[in-house]
Amino acid sequence: MGARRTKKEAARRGIRVSAGDPRYPALVRGFNLRWVGHPRHVTVCRDALQVLRAVQDALDDDLRITVRSGGHCYEDFAVGNDGGVIIDLSSMTGVHHEEATGLYCVEAGATLWDVYLRLYKEHGVTLPGGSCYSIGVGGHVLGAGYGFLSRRDGVTVDYLHAVELVHVTSARKAEVITLRRDSPDPVERELFWGHLGGGGGNFGIVTRFWFKDPPRAPSEAHRVSLGWDWRDLTRRDLARLVRVFGSFMERNSGVDSPYKGMLASLGLTHNSAPQVTMNAHYVGDQPELLAEFAALLDQAMPRRGASRRTIEIRRMPWLFAVQNANDSGPNRCAKHKSAYMKKPFPDGQLDVLWDFLTTPRYRNRTASLAVNAYGCQVNAVDEAATAYPHRSSIMKLQYHTYWEDPAEEQVHLRWIREFYQAMYGERGPYPDETFDGCFVNYPDVDLRDWQTLYYKGNYPRLQEVKRQLDPLDVFHHKQSIELP
């Protein structure tokens, strides 16, 4: 009897992994190897009841709680927990369709690849999520994840209909609740609104997501890749390329753009890499548009006496295109920053780009600025309709640098921080006529006014959601929603 009770108790509480267990070193690290936690233990959960028990145990033992879904957080919000408990959701990978409701249920530990594969093969639908498909759904969706189909279909939270949430009451009790978009209770609808891009780790632990009427998965995709050798580029060449790309996006980021099926990314690498690159994907019935866009960019660049290249468009099943496009890369140390743009780059920024991408004081072929096409269907939603407010941008930027040796950290941090400050000053890309803040799913602890940069005018509403769902501020990190 005693042994049976022990097994039942373990099943109810999840699997605890403590220091000394051979699994511990892997479970206290995230994808970004800058961060290594030292929690009292990691609790691996398989369902909401185990999460509930893990949260209550942590409350009873006065331990700080952090949550890990896929472990891809750019900062230490998931694993940076010394002496507390990391609640690991990675065993919660279910994806299924509910016949009674017509909703698609996804558990919070599923990776994007789990979601794409199951939804596509079993139901012919998908979500407009990210290209790095090893990312966990939990953090990705709560920050309003985007991906290849976002210009055509919007962001993931545009299809989110309900969430199952483990939160903590003012009486210090963990409880499981479900919040729905169509609830007759206006308070519940407001609490649900907070999960439409309000970010992970703020209000509790979402264990399941339900999506309504997700878009049909494309049958096939078309892809094009271009590259321009750094050895052939001048300051004027790089400026021309960035101007042409930005002007095109300004003209073609409306809701009715014929290019809404295209997502393009301009890879402005440091010149220690061989090339500046452009990769674009298109889904739809006019693949010739992709060739025209690629030709526009290529014709803007000098050939230095060489003949004009032939633009090669690759055609493949959409699921293969998603699989081939995964750009997560290996686990390593990294720093990231972000910005949204409503207009093309100002001339002064073009000089800054050249200076920092060609500086001889810093050599790192993995350092770059990715300039991604944005807008179209994303911008069809009012910025107050969801907690995610960036609904007027034409481009989404990600600055990043990677390294292997932890001893080199300050060298890499100095370059990206100086680059970013030269582009935006102390305030960052503060929302105005040209810029539109930063992406909460690319967290950056260097930001001063992160509340406005991530959430704009939606932040006070999110504070009220915090007050009602997490009045004791149990769920917190360096940039979590603050109590009002």
- Taking only the tens place, the pLDDT of each residue in 19-40 is 999 999 999 999 999 999 999 9
Residue 427 φ/ψ, nearest 5 degrees = -80, -15
Q: Buried b / exposed e across 48-68, counting CB within 10 Å, b at 16+?
A: bbbbbbbbbbbbeeeebbbbb
Local confidence band at 10 (pLDDT 50, 70, 90 cut-offs): low
- Taking only the tens place, the pLDDT of each residue in 235-279 is 999 999 999 999 999 999 999 999 999 999 999 999 999 999 999
Would you state the pLDDT for residue 310? 78
Residue 4 has pLDDT above 90, yes or no: no
Contact between 342 and 433 under an 8 Å Cβ cutoff? The reply is yes
As a whole number of Å, the CA-based R_g of the chain is: 23
**Strand-pair partners of 341:** 395, 435
Average confidence score pLDDT of the chain: 95
Candidates 138, 132, 136; CA nearest to 160 is 138
Within 8 A by CB and 6+ apart from 234, the residues are: none
Mean pLDDT calculated for residue range 1-16: 62
- Taking only the tens place, the pLDDT of each residue in 88-144 is 999 999 999 999 999 999 999 999 999 999 999 999 999 999 988 889 999 999 999
Question: What CA–CA distances, in Å, run from 43 to 200, 207, 366, 480?
Answer: 18, 14, 34, 22
Would you state the pLDDT for residue 271? 97
Would you state the pLDDT for residue 7? 54
- Taking only the tens place, the pLDDT of each residue in 281-297 is 999 999 999 999 999 99
Candidates 223, 458, 248; CA nearest to 343 is 248
Residue 158 has pLDDT above 50, yes or no: yes
Would you state the pLDDT for residue 326? 75
Would you state the pLDDT for residue 41? 98
Question: What CA–CA distances, in Å, run from 191 to 150, 315, 455, 478?
Answer: 25, 43, 16, 22
Residue type, 126: T
- Taking only the tens place, the pLDDT of each residue in 183-223 is 999 999 999 999 999 999 999 999 999 999 999 999 999 99
Would you state the pLDDT for residue 1? 43
Local confidence band at 5 (pLDDT 50, 70, 90 cut-offs): very low
Contact between 193 and 205 under an 8 Å Cβ cutoff? The reply is no
- Taking only the tens place, the pLDDT of each residue in 425-482 is 999 999 999 999 999 999 999 999 999 999 999 999 999 999 999 999 999 999 999 9
CA 81 centroid distance within chain: 22
- Taking only the tens place, the pLDDT of each residue in 322-340 is 888 877 778 899 999 999 9
Residue with tokens 């509480």: 13
Contact between 179 and 188 under an 8 Å Cβ cutoff? The reply is yes
Would you state the pLDDT for residue 329? 77
Residue 384 has pLDDT above 90, yes or no: yes
DSSP 218-265: PSEEEEEEEEEEGGG--HHHHHHHHHHHHHHHHHS-STT-TTTTEEEE
Residue type, 307: S
Residue with tokens 């295209």: 262
